[in-house]
Amino acid sequence: MMSEFVSVAIDGPVGAGKSTIARAAASALGYVYVDTGAMYRSVGLHCRRKNADMSSPEDIAAQLGDISLEIRIIDGIQHIFLNGEDVSEEIRLPEISMATSAVSAVPEVRSALLGMQRDFAEKNNVIMDGRDIGTVVLPNARVKIFLTASPEIRAKRRFDELKAKGREVTFEEVLNDLNKRDYNDSHRAAAPLKAAEDAVLADTSGLDFEQSVELVCGLIKERL
């Protein structure tokens, strides 16, 4: 039996603008936006705080018993709470990115978060973004979109975002980090990054933010 609620799965590589585009599309369409990356980032943050060995899947998995995650929608914006603390800002720091890549490759982490993500989709019209939403988390999503852009474009967007926040980084550092994460995400054993067979490809390389949101909203309306 098909759920009365509509699920939209948006997947794609790091720096494709999934979160900002999905959030804006959800706002425009009246859906709830669920940022699964924030969940993985929260686990990464917790593991860093506990000085876990990020090269040891066993050590990462051992931290899960001490983690309580909660999603709250405040003034229409998703906030993520880690053990009662709002970490929505801290999880966006660059040093959390590689930790996120490490924890997201651990099967125990993925299965722990899977139930929470599916439960949310069963109770709301959602746009959910991540790396394996259409392939693993919501395989029956009514709409699946694989959002991408060239590595150089994605790195430039990320670079501009970090500079605007006052971070001292070079474009080369951001591009190298992005290429490394692309490789790790697409070659991991647990739910590697790839487009679902029934996903539509949305390349935003030549589009600005508003055009990208328009493209995604148009694809969702077309398929519904």
Residue 219, beta-bridge partner list: none
Predicted pLDDT of residue 124 = 87
Predicted pLDDT of residue 204 = 93
Q: What is the pLDDT along the chain (224 residues), one digit of tens a residue?
A: 455 899 999 999 988 888 899 999 999 999 988 888 899 999 999 999 999 999 999 999 999 999 999 888 788 777 899 999 999 999 988 889 889 989 988 999 999 999 888 988 998 899 999 888 999 999 999 999 999 999 999 999 889 988 998 888 999 999 999 999 889 888 887 778 889 999 999 999 989 999 999 999 999 999 98
Predicted pLDDT of residue 1 = 45
Please give the Cα distance from 67 to 47 (Å, whole number): 10
Phi-psi sector, 44: left (phi>0), alpha (psi -120 to 50), beta: alpha
Predicted pLDDT of residue 8 = 97
Predicted pLDDT of residue 53 = 96
- The answer to whether 135 touches 185, Cβ cutoff 8 Å, is no
- The answer to whether 157 touches 24, Cβ cutoff 8 Å, is no
Predicted pLDDT of residue 17 = 87
Q: In what order do the strands lie in the sheet with 77-82?
A: 69-74, 77-82, 85-86
Predicted pLDDT of residue 41 = 95
